[in-house]
Structure 1
Amino acid sequence: MNEHDSTRYLFAQSIKDLMAKQSLDKMTVTDIVKHSGMTRQTFYRYFKDKYDLVNWYFEKLADKSFRQIGNSSTLREGLIKKFTFLLNDKIFFIQAFQSKDYNNIENYDYQCILEFYQNIIRKKIGPIPDDIMFLLEMYCHGSITMTVQWAVSGMKKTPEDMADLLIAALPPQLEQLLSDL
C-alpha cells in the first residue's frame, strides 16, 4: 500500500471509530482530523468532505466485490462479496446508509452499480435501448433501497440471502443480459 492510500485508510479508520459513537451527519471534519492525529490540510488534500471519504472507502468495497462480476465472479458471488464487506464493517455502513446528505453513500452506490451494469450490457448489445435502460434504472434504485433497508435495520439477512433476493428481483430482460457473467 502506498503512502497516499495509508493516509486515506487512516482517515477511514478514524471516521469508522467515530461512527461507533455518533452519526455521520453530525460528525465534523474537525472531529475526524482530531481523532486521526492528522491536519485539516492533509484531510482536504485527499477528500472534499466527509462524504467523499465515505464514498472513497465504499469505492474500495466496489473494487473488491461487485466490480469483479464478469471477471472472476458470477453475479451472485459479486453480490455476496459486497454484502459480506458491508457486514464486516457493520457500524460504518449502518451509519453511512443513514445519512440523508445529497453526497451520501446511497446515491454514490446507485451511480456505481448503474454505470457498472450499463458497461456490461453495452459490451453485450451495444447501445442500450430505452426500455432496457428504464428497467435497469428501476432495478438499481430498488436494489439500493433494499440494501439501505437491510443495513439500517441491522443486517439480519445473510449476504447469501440478500444476493439471492436481488437476483430473484431482476426483470427477465435484465436477467438475460446479466445472468451469464
Structure 2
Amino acid sequence: MSQLTQRAMAASLKKMLAKKTLDKITVKEIADDCGVKRQTFYYHFKDIYDLLEWTFLQEGEQFIDKERICENWQDVYLEVFRYIENNKNFTINAYNSVGREHLERYLYRIVYDLIALFIRGMEGSEKIAKEDRDFICDFYKYALVGIILEWIGGGMKEDPQRISSKLNRLLKRHMEADLFDSETD
C-alpha cells in the first residue's frame, strides 16, 4: 500500500508540474488529488522537494540495466534524453523552479552510474585505480549533465539523437584513451 500511495503522489506531482512550476504546487493540492490527507503525504515525504527527488529516482531506475550499459551506454544516455523530452513540461517546470537542484542531483546520479557501469564493463578496467575511475566518472558526469541542462535551458530544440551521436563520436575516441592513459600516470 505504501509504494502505491507514493506512486500516486508522484503521478499527481508530475501532472501538476506539467502545468505549473513547483513553487506554485502545495502539499494540500497533491493530497487532495490523490484522495489522501496531508498527514499521509508527510508520512511518506518530508516536503514536495523530497517527493520530487523520489519521483526522479524511481523513474530513473528504468535506465540502469547493467547488461545494456556495458554494451552500449550511448543508447541508455539517449533514453535519458528521450525521457526528459517525453516529460518536457514536467522537466522544464522543475528546471525553472526552486526544485532545480533535485533535477540536477538526479541527473548527476544517473549519469555517474551509467558511466561507472560502462567503465567496469570495459576490458582492462580492473587495472585502473579506483581513484582514477572515480575522477573519470566525475569528469564525464559533469560534462554530460552540463549538456543535458544546457539543452533543457535552451528549450530542448536540438534533436537528442543528434546530440547523442556527437557525444558518441567524441567520447569513443577519448574514453578509452583516458582510461588506459591513467594506468601510466
Do both proteins adopt the same fold according to a TM-score greater than 0.5, normalized to the shorter chain? yes
What corresponds to 1:156 in structure 2? 157
Which structure 2 residues correspond to residues 1-181 of structure 1 after superposition, within 5 A? 3-65=1-63, 67-68=64-65, 70-71=67-68, 74-101=72-99, 103-122=101-120, 124-125=125-126, 127-130=129-132, 132-170=133-171, 172-175=173-176
Displacement of 1:78: 0.8
Classify the secondary structure of the residue corresponding to 2:67. Answer: coil
Unpaired segments ≥5 residues, structure 2 = 180-185
Q: Secondary structure at the match of 2:130?
A: coil
- Partners of 2:60 and 2:150 lie apart in 1 by 19
Aligned-partner Cα distance in 2 for 1:175–1:94: 34
Counterpart CA distance in 2 for 1:174 and 1:129 is 16
* 1:56-87 CA-partner distances (Å, limit 9, x unpaired): 2222332222x125347621221122222221
CA contact (8 A) 1:29 1:50 kept: yes
Deviation per CA, 1:111-143, whole angstroms, max 9, x where unpaired? 33224433553563264244x533431221121
One-letter identity of the residue aligned with 1:15? L
Per mean C-alpha deviation after superposition, the further-off stretch among 112-121 and 16-25 is 112-121
Q: Is the 8 A contact 1:83 1:162 kept in 2?
A: no
Task: Decide which moves more: 70-79 or 47-56.
Answer: 70-79
Shift of 1:100: 4.0
Q: Which runs of 5+ in 1 are unaligned?
A: none
Q: C-alpha distance in 2, partners of 1:136/1:174?
A: 10
Distance 1:170 1:47, change over 3 A: farther
When residues 143 and 98 of structure 1 are mapped into structure 2, their CA distance, relative to the original with a 3 A threshold, is: farther
The residue identity in structure 2 corresponding to 1:128 is K
Assess if the C-alpha contact under 8 Å between 1:135 and 1:171 holds in 2. Answer: no
Query: Is the 2:22–2:94 contact (alpha carbons within 8 Å) kept by the matching residues of 1?
Result: yes
Q: In structure 2, what is the Cα distance between the partners aligned to 1:36 and 1:24?
A: 17
Report the Cα offset of residue 110 of structure 1. Answer: 0.7
Point out the structure with the larger helix share.
2
For 2:145 and 2:4, the matched residues in 1 are separated by 29
> What amino acid sits opposite 2:67 in the alignment?
G
Aligned residues: 173
TM-aligned CA distance change 1:150 to 1:127, over 3 Å? same
